[in-house]
Structure 1
Amino acid sequence: MIKREIYMSRIRPFIGNELIKVLTGIRRSGKSVMLSLIQEELAQNGVQPEQFISLNFENMSNAHLCTAVALHDEILRRTKEISGKVYLFFDEIQEVADWEKCINSFRVELDCDIYITGSNAKLLSGELATYLAGRYVEFVIYPFSFREFMELYHTVYEGADERQCFTKYLTLGGMPYLSNLRYDDAASRQYLRDLFNSVELKDIIKRNNIRDVDMLERIIAYITSNIGTTFSSTAISKYLKSEGRSVSPETVLNYIKACTDAFLFYQVKRQDLQGKKILTVNEKYYVADHGVREAVYGGNMKDINLVLENVVYMELLRRGYSVTVGKVSDKEIDFVCEDHGKKLYVQVSYLLASEETIQREFGAFAGVRDNFPKYVVTMDELDMSRDGIKHRNIRDFLLAEEWN
C-alpha cells in the first residue's frame, strides 16, 4: 500500500481534533485507502482497534443504515461499549439521506474524531454549509502522481526504467487499482471503462436526475476530446446544433457543472496578467485521469501535447497550487500557479522540434516581468534552458521535490 505522504502530511495536523475531516475526489481515486492509512497511523500512536468504527455505505450490508436516524442510533449503540475517544470512518457518506444532521449530532454528543469520504463536490454545499460551517476541513484525493505510479509499478515490474514507466503512465493513467491487474492493457482498459460508466451513472446522472443521457454523453465526449483547449458553452451549443441536437448554452453549463461536481473534469479559468483580472469566457477543462480518457475515447498518443498538459495540470493541483491560464496581450501561458504567495509559470509542449516552436514556447513569457520561476516542460531529453527560463523534461519535472 502506497503511503501517499503528500496527503497524510496535510491530514496529520488535524488528526484527533474536533474538525470533521472530509476526503473528496473522483470515485476509486484512493479515498478508502486514505482512511486505512489514517487508521494505521492512529494504531501506531496507541489507539486501540476497538475505538474504530468504519462503515462503507456502498456495501449492501450497510443499506439499512442509509438514513440519518438509523445511522445515529447504530453509532450510539456501538459507542456505549467503547471507553475513551471513538474514531468514526464513513465511506461514501452521500449514500446516507440527511447524513449531515447525524454527523453534526455525533460531533456534539460524542467524544469523537470523524472522517468522511464522498465522490461529489455537492457534499460540501447546501445544507452541509449550514450544519457544519467552519467545522470541517476538506482534502481532495487525486489519482496517482507519476511518482506514486512508478513506486507501485516497480512492485509489479521491478526492472522497468523511468521511460518505460512514463510510457505506461501516459496510456493507463493513475487509478490505484490498476496494480491489482498487473497493469495488463486489456484488463486495465476494461476497468477504466467500467469506472467511467460508474461515475457517469452514479455521480452524474442519478445525483442530478439527468434525463437526456444522450446529450450528457455528447457533452462529455466533446470536453474529453478538447481537453486543454479554450472553448465556451456557446461553442458546445453550436457544435451540438450542427450534430442535430439543439441545446441552450445554459443547459450545457449545467451539464458541465454536474461533471465537475463528480470530479470527472476540472475547470481552469483564464487570467489577464496585465489587468490582473479573471476572464469570464473560454475556460479550459482537464480530465481527472488521462487513463480514463484513453480507455473510453482513445487518442492519447494522437493528442499527446494536450495529454501532457493534462498530466502537468493534475500534478500542480496535487501539490496544492491554484491554477489559471495566463493571458498577456496576444500570448497565452498554459499555467499560472499560486500557493500562499508563491508563484510559478509553466508552459507545456510535446517536443521543441523547430526554432519556431522554441520561440513560441519560451516567448510566451515575454510579457511577464516578475522574478518567479518560469518553466517550459517537454518530452525532450536535452536541456534547452535560456534567458532565465528553465526547460525540463516532463519526467524530471513531475519527479522534482520542488520547483524553484
Structure 2
Amino acid sequence: MYPNEKITFFFDEIQEVENWEIVIKRLVEREGHNVYLTGSSSKLLSKEIATQLRGRSLSVELFPLSFKEYLRFKGFEFDEILTEQEKVLILKYLDDYLTYGSFPEVVMEEENREEILREYLRTIIFRDIVERHKIKNIQILKLFIKFLINYHTKKVSINKLVNYFKSIGIKVSKNTLYEYLEYLNDCYFVFPLKKFSYSLKEINQSLSKPYIIDNGFIRIFDIKHSMDKGKYLENAVFVELRRRGFVENENIFYYEDTIGEVDFLIKENDEIKCLINVCYDLNFDNYDREVKKFVKIGKKLNCNNLILITFDYEDVIKEDIKVKIIPFWKWCLLNNL
C-alpha cells in the first residue's frame, strides 16, 4: 500500500515456520523495515538469531505481571512512606498475587480467573507442546505436568518418577520425561533449577527443583490443596529473579551441603554475589535453620550479601555476617537484590 514508506512487520509464533530467519534477515538488512517477532519459545532468544542479524536485534522476555505492575493494574500508586491502611491493602493484594498469580487477564477478571488459568494451561499443553513436538501420549504428559506442579520448589528425581509411573501401570522412559521437561522449559512453563557447584559435571548430575511460571497454575492444580504459603512465596521469588534477568543454571542456582540448604545462589562471573533464602514467617522455632545455618553457609562460601525474604517481617540481624530480612513486597517494589 505504501511502497515508498518503511513498513513495520509483526509476526507471532514465527518459529513454527521453517527457515524464517532468512526472510527476516532480508526484511531488516536489505529492505530496512522494522520487524517485531513474538513467540512462546526460548528459541527466539537464541544467540544464533542475534548472530544472523549481526547485532541488529533486541530480545525481550515477557513474564506475567511483577508485583509493582500488579499494583498498577489495581490502581495503587506506591510511595515508600505508607499509611497503615495502605500497608494493609498491599498485604491483601500480595496474598491474592501469591495465590492466583498475575496474568493480566486473571488480574482483571477475578470471577473467572480459575477457568482462564485452566484454558491457558490447555493452550500451553496442546499448542506449545503436543502440536509443536508431535506428542502422542498426551496422558503421560498431563500426569508429568501435574507432578511437577505439585512438587514445585522440591528436588525431583526423574528415575524415581519413572519407577512411580511403572508402579501404577504406566510405562515411560526417563529419556521421554527429560524431553518433556525440556519442552516445558522451552515454552517458559517450568524452570528446572540445578544445584550450584564449581564442577559442571556435578551441576548437570544434580537433581532439579522445578519452579512454575505463575502461581495461579500451582493453585488450581495443587491436588493436596495445602496452600503452603512458604512454597508459593518461594516460587514467586524465583520468577521475580528470572524476570530481572537471572537465568537458571547460568547465574542462579540452589545450594546444599551438610550444613543446610540455600534457596537461591546468585553468581556473577566466578564470584558468588548473593545468597537468598525465603521464609514466609520468621519465628523462634525456625530461627536456627533460617538464620544461623544461613550465616554458616555464607561464611563457608565467602559471601557477605545474605537476604532473607519474608511475607511481611523486616529486620537486620547481625550474627557473624549481617542478614538483611526484607518483605517480598518491599523487595519487589524497591528492586533490591
Same fold (TM over 0.5): yes
Q: Does 1:306 align with 2:231?
A: yes
Q: Does 1:295 align with 2:220?
A: yes
Counterpart of 2:152 in structure 1 is 227
Q: Does 1:80 align with 2:6?
A: no
1:376-398 deviation digits (Å, cap 9, x = unpaired): 12225353633211112222222
| Cα distance in structure 2, aligned partners of 1:276 and 1:386 | 36
Distance 1:113 1:129, change over 3 A: closer
Counterpart of 1:121 in structure 2 is 42
| Cα distance in structure 1, aligned partners of 2:201 and 2:12 | 41
Distance 1:396 1:271, change over 3 A: same
- Give the aligned residue type for 2:91: R
Distance 1:383 1:117, change over 3 A: same
Between 1:207-216 and 1:107-116, the stretch displaced more is: 107-116
Return the offset for 1:90.
2.2
Q: Does 1:94 align with 2:26?
A: no
Return the offset for 1:220.
0.6
Q: Does 1:334 align with 2:263?
A: yes
Q: Does 1:204 align with 2:129?
A: yes
- Give the aligned residue type for 2:283: A
Counterpart of 1:145 in structure 2 is 66
Counterpart of 2:327 in structure 1 is 393
1:119-156 deviation digits (Å, cap 9, x = unpaired): 1123456985885576534221111111111111236x
Return the offset for 1:92.
2.6
After TM superposition, list the pairs within 5 Å mapping 1:352-363 onto structure 2: 352-355=282-285, 357-362=286-291, 363=293
Counterpart of 1:18 in structure 2 is none
Counterpart of 1:381 in structure 2 is 313
TM-score, normalised relative to structure 2:
0.84
| Cα distance in structure 1, aligned partners of 2:20 and 2:296 | 52
Runs of 4+ in 1 over 4 A off after TM superposition: 124-135, 273-277, 298-301, 339-342
Between 1:249-258 and 1:288-297, the stretch displaced more is: 288-297
Distance 1:129 1:326, change over 3 A: same
| Cα distance in structure 1, aligned partners of 2:240 and 2:7 | 35
- Give the aligned residue type for 1:176: P
Distance 1:241 1:386, change over 3 A: farther
Question: In the alignment, is the contact (CA less than 8 A) between 1:230 and 1:283 conserved in 2?
Answer: yes
1:145-193 deviation digits (Å, cap 9, x = unpaired): 11111111236xx988101101111121010122441x23xx0111111
**Paired residues, number:** 319
Question: In the alignment, is the contact (CA less than 8 A) between 2:152 and 2:210 conserved in 1?
Answer: yes
Q: Does 1:281 align with 2:206?
A: yes
Cα root mean square deviation, aligned: 2.9
Partner residue of 1:366 out of 286, 296, 309: 296
| Cα distance in structure 2, aligned partners of 1:190 and 1:87 | 35
Identity value in percent: 26
Return the offset for 1:206.
0.5
- Give the aligned residue type for 1:192: L
Return the offset for 1:234.
0.9
SS in 2 for 1:138: coil
Distance 1:238 1:396, change over 3 A: same
1:21-72 deviation digits (Å, cap 9, x = unpaired): xxxxxxxxxxxxxxxxxxxxxxxxxxxxxxxxxxxxxxxxxxxxxxxxxxxx
Distance 1:133 1:201, change over 3 A: farther
Question: In the alignment, is the contact (CA less than 8 A) between 2:12 and 2:37 conserved in 1?
Answer: yes
Return the offset for 1:91.
2.7
| Cα distance in structure 2, aligned partners of 1:199 and 1:89 | 22
Return the offset for 1:367.
2.8
Return the offset for 1:100.
1.9
| Cα distance in structure 1, aligned partners of 2:35 and 2:200 | 44
Question: In the alignment, is the contact (CA less than 8 A) between 2:273 and 2:303 conserved in 1?
Answer: no
